[in-house]
Amino acid sequence: MSKKKYTVLIVDDQKTNITLLTDMMSSEYNVFSAENGQDGIKAANDYLPDVILLDILMMDMDGYAVLDILKSSERTKDIPVIFITSLQGDDNEAKGLLMGASDYITKPFSPVIVLLRLRNQIKLLEQMRAIEKLSMHDHLTELPNRRSFEERINTEWNRAIRDKSPVSILMIDVDLFKRYNDNYGHQQGDVVLKTIAKCFIEELKRPGDFAARWGGEEFIVLLPCTVMPGALDVAERIRRRIEEVKIPCSDNDKLAEKVTVSIGAYTREQNQECTINEFITRADTALYDAKKKGRNRVCFFGEE
């Protein structure tokens, strides 16, 4: 597998500097450029580069103003910015670092130093992304975790309101999981949860569909742009797949007891008044109904 090429945006009003920096970095990075502050802000939003090299002394808008706008935007605030400028002096460097710049390089610059400073930023970026990934994923099932789901639902919720589109949710609970753990042990219970997680991956076909481990033996699925019949179809396919799946067992001489799940579903139709908490709670209520009615079934909130 080829190594990922990181993206660098150069914002400088001197074409000679852009050409020199691009020639230095193009073999190692994907390089974009802008010749003024306004274009640099637009390019940062369009390309979402991994690192930005930003001049301070520019005609239309200085680098401090550009940095301030980038750091004020949710979309670009986490992109590392390295000032590369002829503006020298401890006060100027301190100002840039206090505003959120990740590094400060003075011109005339050494190509070797620029590349080393850039590589250091990429290494830090890789470490931060690895930590972020661990904090957003469930270690056992390798699905996104509850924190990840809460971040995702905020994005999809706002999109649904803006586009006036429906959004559906499924709350899923493994039936009689405590009894299963008592019979087979917690290690085998972990096998069940991992097996179920794979079922979600196999059944959720669209890129926007999102499954996460909610906690314990509970899972949650977000289905953007999905009306009630579509949500019920997905829920039934998941229920049936889990009911039919063969659970691996640590003891190869036998096959573990099969498991089933109960599923609660709910759809927020376009223009319907509802908060995110109410949205989740209604699916949870439907899940409780599915349990009460005998388990291994799908119930929709509000159905008779």
Write out the catalytic residue numbers. 217
* DSSP 8-state symbol, 137: B
Q: Residue 42 is which amino acid?
A: K
Tokens of 127: 């470490």
Q: What is the DSSP string of 216-236?
A: TTEEEEEEET--HHHHHHHHH
| Sheet with 261-268, side-by-side order of all strands | 210-215, 218-224, 167-174, 261-268, 298-300
| Strand, coil or helix: 191 | helix
Residue 300: which of 203, 201, 234 has the closest Cα? Answer: 234
Residue 157: which of 224, 63, 60 has the closest Cα? Answer: 224
Sign of the alpha-carbon dihedral angle for 220, 222, 228, 233: negative
* DSSP 8-state symbol, 205: -
Tokens of 79: 């992109």
244 contacts: CB under 8 Å, gap ≥ 6: none
d(CA 144, CA 151): 11
Q: Check if the beta carbon of residue 176 is closer than 8 Å to that of residue 295.
A: yes
Burial of 280 (0-12, 13-18, 19+ CB in 10 A): buried
Q: Check if the beta carbon of residue 223 is closer than 8 Å to that of residue 172.
A: no
